[in-house]
Copies of this chain bind each other. A is one copy, B any other.
């Protein structure tokens, strides 16, 4: 990288710990519960639309997912879904909130190594309490100088973070699995980004054309490569 990077941001969900798989499994459980009234394809489509429509009001996270799922069940059943099924849908959401945290391979080693050479901050989006719980259970909290849980990862969010932490954009690098949230807005404000792939990507995080050739974008196959990359 050109010039010294002083501040390192790292994404949480699907970068440091498993997340999207769990949502996919929850959606599967939801489809089984509502199977009497709609096919999995109809349900998946209706849920994605409802979540997207509710997002300005609900933001990201499990509680919003849960409420959207109940709304879809009421709608697609035309008001026939019994209360016990509603409770079972709420329990699917609760199971997500209570799920053990599975730290991804190399995450602990990479974050610990980075923390020895840089100021490292967690930059993650979703429900406040849920993200704090995941951080706590991950055991990674001790490596972070600062934790920022945000409602959206857009250029303005990153700019505000850098103002708070008093870091010029060219001395900041963001590491994460999402081109839309961890790479594009970071490149847009003049900072660096490192993409780390995850085996599945939430459809909301997909972008048409990743900025593959951007001079401030790097890509690695695994978190294990990051410490050496930052020293290069």
Contact = CB atoms under 8 A, between A and B. Distances in A.
A132 interface: yes
A41 interface: no
Contact of A74 (B83, B132, B146): B83
| 6 A-B pairs with least C-beta separation | A59-B129, A63-B63, A128-B151, A74-B83, A79-B83, A74-B87
Interface residues of A, number: 38
A133 to B, nearest CB: 8
Interface in A79-129: 79-84, 86-87, 90, 93-94, 97-98, 127-129
A98 B54 CA distance: 11
Interface of A: 56-59, 63-64, 66-67, 70-71, 73-74, 77, 79-84, 86-87, 90, 93-94, 97-98, 127-130, 132-133, 146, 149-151, 164-165
Interface-central residue, A70, A94, A97, A132, by most chain B CB under 10 Å: A70
Given A57-B97, A129-B151, 6 more contacts: A58-B63, A70-B90, A71-B87, A77-B83, A128-B151, A164-B164
